Amino acid sequence: MNLETFLVERGPAWDALERDLVAAKRPGRNPPERTLALGRTYRATVADLAYARRRFPGDPIVDRLERLALTGRQAIYSGRRRNAGALVEFATTGYWQLVIGEPGVLAVAVIALAAPCLLAAAWALHDPAAALG
C-alpha cells in the first residue's frame, strides 16, 4: 500500500478519532457506545501508527498519528485511578459476593474440606488406638 492509498483509506478513521476525542472532553458521562467507539478508533489508529512507522518513516503522517495516539491514550487511561480502598472493599464484600454467586464451586469446596475431616473422625471413633498412632 502506498502513502496516498493509506491516507485515503485510513484518514476517515483518524478524523473519527479526533471527533471522538473532542466529544470525550465534554463534561458529563459518556454513553457506553461512544466509549466503545473511542476504543475501537484508538486501537485502529495505533495499528496505523505502527504500520506508518515501518512503511513511511519521516513522513508527517507519522507525527500526526503519534499525536492522535498520545491524545487517545490520555483520554482513555487518564481517568483510571488506583484506589487503595478498592482492595479492602473487594476483600470484605466483593470476594464473598463472588463466592456466593458460584454455589456449585462452593459445594465442591465444602465437600473437599469436610469429607477428609469426617472420614478421619469416623476412623478415630472406629479404631482409636490406630488413630492415635
CA dihedral of residues 54, 57, 60, 63 (deg, nearest 10): 60
The average pLDDT across 47-61 equals: 95
pLDDT at 73: 92
C-alpha cell at 98: 463472588
pTM recorded for the entire structure: 0.57
How is the chain split into domains, by residue range?
3-77, 85-132
Q: Quick one: pLDDT at residue 81?
A: 62
pLDDT band (50, 70, 90) for residue 104: very high
For residue 27, the model assigns a pLDDT of 66
Q: Which tens digit of pLDDT belongs to each residue from 117-131?
A: 999 999 999 998 888
DSSP string, 48-103: HHHHHHHHSTT-HHHHHHHHHHHHHHHHHHTT----HHHHHHIIIIIHHHHHHT-H
